[in-house]
Structure 1
Amino acid sequence: MKKIIITSLLFVSVFLNAQNFQGMAVYESKTSTAEMMKNFGGNREITPDMQKRIEENMKKMFEKTFVLNFEKTASIYKEEEKLEAPGQQGGGRMMASIMGGGGTQYKNVKEKMYVVDKEFFGKEFLIKDTLTNYKWQMSSESKKIGEYTCFKATAVVKTDASDMRNFRMRGNKDKEEKAKKTKDSIDASKKTNFLKEDFEQIKEKTITAWYCPEIPINQGPDKYWGLPGLILEVNDGTTVLLCSKIVMNTKDKAEIKAATKGKEVTQTEYDDIVMKKMEEMREMYGGQRGGRGGFH
């Protein structure tokens, strides 16, 4: 058994040392719709059948396939292209942006930076920032993912404010306190921030990753990286990304370079833009007159 493992590692090492080495990994994404419904408090007027239909629609929205093309120090991660239903292209892209998806993500572990291009309300953004330095707690626990032996690692990470999956409704006590403050307020017409007053951001999450030392690439799906092997599975408590296919030394080389189009912003700046636009939408749908939302 040891000889087989050593041979396999040497085999992969030859590819890694090759000048034009490149690999591809396919990931399937699944989001717990029940967990999301619980975070947003649900609606007592929704019947069980209605809730089931809502969860089924959310499931279709979040069950996606992604492709990670990687080389020694850089990677490109993006959703697998597929035809969308007529009339849903624009709405689908906007929802993907609000729910933390969309765009093409470039990671360079040598330069410790990433670049993501996203479209939000008809405007293109280019998010450029430093890679998160995950403080991985590595474990000896292992399991098989396909034919690969993977090891467990966990980390506590800060969440993105532009990803609505990272929000939940405040507890009843908080709601009562908010209602009292509103009643006692002299300025009864004072606006409250929908996300800050009615919802709270889940500031941190514990993520569990499973990495494969047999493929000694410091890469992974989405924004994850930093382990001594390709990350084949990530679970953040709401969404699971699971590798379903790996191709080493692919014949058709993908172009692995950062996008260049869009207004350049940091992750924090982009998060602020999304939050402000969500507040504008809250005010507009809250009874204020206004036209179609957009950037000016």
Structure 2
Amino acid sequence: MLKHLYLTIIISLLACYGFAQQISGSAFYTSMYKEDEPKFDEEEMEDPLTQALAEQLKKGFLDEYELQFNQEESIFKKIPKLEKPDPNKGGISISMSLMGENEILYKNIKENKLINEKELYGKPFLIQDTIEIRDWKLSKESKTIGEYVCFKATYLPPSLSGDKDNEENSSTHSETKEEEIIAWYTPQIPVKNGPKNYGGLPGLILEVQEGKLIFLCTKIVLSPKEPMGIIKPSKGKKVSQKEFDAILEKKNEEMRENFKTRKRRE
């Protein structure tokens, strides 16, 4: 009888281990980002472009994303959407997003690699980086998201944390408290992953908040029988994040100079 009990326990443990090894699927997220009320003077608001910008800032960003994952890899991308033009805006509309329509964020947890496939002024780039290691503080606080029990984890970036023992930094610490990253993860899906570049927790992150930005999981589709194959991005010039930032700054500076030149000629 005791042997049968031991055998049952071993089989159960092996089954759980096997599930953790092969678990894969897709998680769908909605992102929300809302800025403070935009302030433009009356003269600026006469411009239809400024009106469209003010309207978009007032509404905030609202996009949908898909995270395709297995135990070691994932890709995160925006789900394209079509918006109907508003006849009251004279055909002018502005769309703001955290990611481009064709942008792909690839993570390899095992190799600690992060690859961002994106375009800059029509030219494709493969931005190579490492996955940020965050010192998450785990909490016993829990809540339910959909059918999953989630636990709270928090992280305060070192550049924002300040020195609690230093009175001079105490005000800085309190001011940046709102920038603390709050994540809710579920151990029911034992994958150290999440939306965008978030991860590193003992379960899939279903909700994360960083300042005014929130990602919330709305749907999960697991594929335990047939592990999902993740296709690594391969289009574009390989550059580091630092190199890409320098290219972006140079392009922006060129645009500013061109704008100044046109203004002088007018």
Structure-2-length-normalised TM-score: 0.71
Provide structure 2 residue ranges, at least 5 long, that are not aligned to the other structure: 1-12, 86-90, 160-175
Aligned length: 223
Does the 8 Å CA contact 1:12/1:214 hold for their aligned counterparts? Answer: no
Structure 1 residues 26, 251: closer, same or farther in 2, change over 3 A? farther
Does the 8 Å CA contact 2:19/2:224 hold for their aligned counterparts? Answer: no
Q: Residues of 1 paired with 2:143 and 2:123: CA distance?
A: 43
Does residue 17 (structure 1) correspond to residue 21 (structure 2)? The answer is yes
**Per-residue deviation, residues 264-290 of structure 1 (Å, max 9, x unmatched):** 1111221222222222222322x2149
**Per-residue deviation, residues 68-103 of structure 1 (Å, max 9, x unmatched):** 1111111111111344679x9xx96xx65xx55551
Higher-Rg structure is 2
- Superposition pairs for residues 245-284 of structure 1, below 5 Å? 245-249=219-223, 254-284=228-258
Q: CA deviation at 1:56?
A: 4.0
Give the match for residue 43 of structure 1: 40
**Per-residue deviation, residues 38-81 of structure 1 (Å, max 9, x unmatched):** xxxx334466xx99864543477721110111111111111113
Matched residue SS, 1:223 = coil
Q: Residues of 2 paired with 1:141 and 1:228: CA distance?
A: 15
Structure-1-length-normalised TM-score: 0.64
Letter of the 2:40 partner, please give it: N
Structure 1 residues 233, 257: closer, same or farther in 2, change over 3 A? same
Structure 1 residues 68, 150: closer, same or farther in 2, change over 3 A? same
**Per-residue deviation, residues 129-181 of structure 1 (Å, max 9, x unmatched):** 1111111122222111112111111213489xxxxxxxxxxxxxxxxxxxxxx
Q: Residues of 1 paired with 2:231 and 2:100: CA distance?
A: 19
Does the 8 Å CA contact 1:158/1:205 hold for their aligned counterparts? Answer: no
Residue identity over aligned pairs, in percent, reads 43
Matched residue SS, 2:188 = coil
Letter of the 2:21 partner, please give it: N
- CA RMSD in angstroms, aligned pairs only: 3.5
Give the match for residue 110 of structure 2: 110
Q: Residues of 2 paired with 1:244 and 1:224: CA distance?
A: 17
- Superposition pairs for residues 116-131 of structure 1, below 5 Å? 116-131=116-131
Give the match for residue 222 of structure 1: 196
Q: Residues of 1 paired with 2:53 and 2:16: CA distance?
A: 45
Matched residue SS, 1:143 = strand
Matched residue SS, 2:261 = coil
4+ aligned runs moved over 6 Å, structure 1: 9-12, 250-253
Structure 1 residues 221, 43: closer, same or farther in 2, change over 3 A? same
Q: Residues of 1 paired with 2:220 and 2:14: CA distance?
A: 18
Give the match for residue 79 of structure 1: 78
Q: Residues of 1 paired with 2:215 and 2:115: CA distance?
A: 20
Matched residue SS, 1:107 = strand
Q: Residues of 1 paired with 2:257 and 2:63: CA distance?
A: 32
Structure 1 residues 236, 280: closer, same or farther in 2, change over 3 A? same
Q: Which range moves more in the overlay, 146-155 or 240-249?
A: 146-155
Q: Residues of 1 paired with 2:32 and 2:226: CA distance?
A: 28
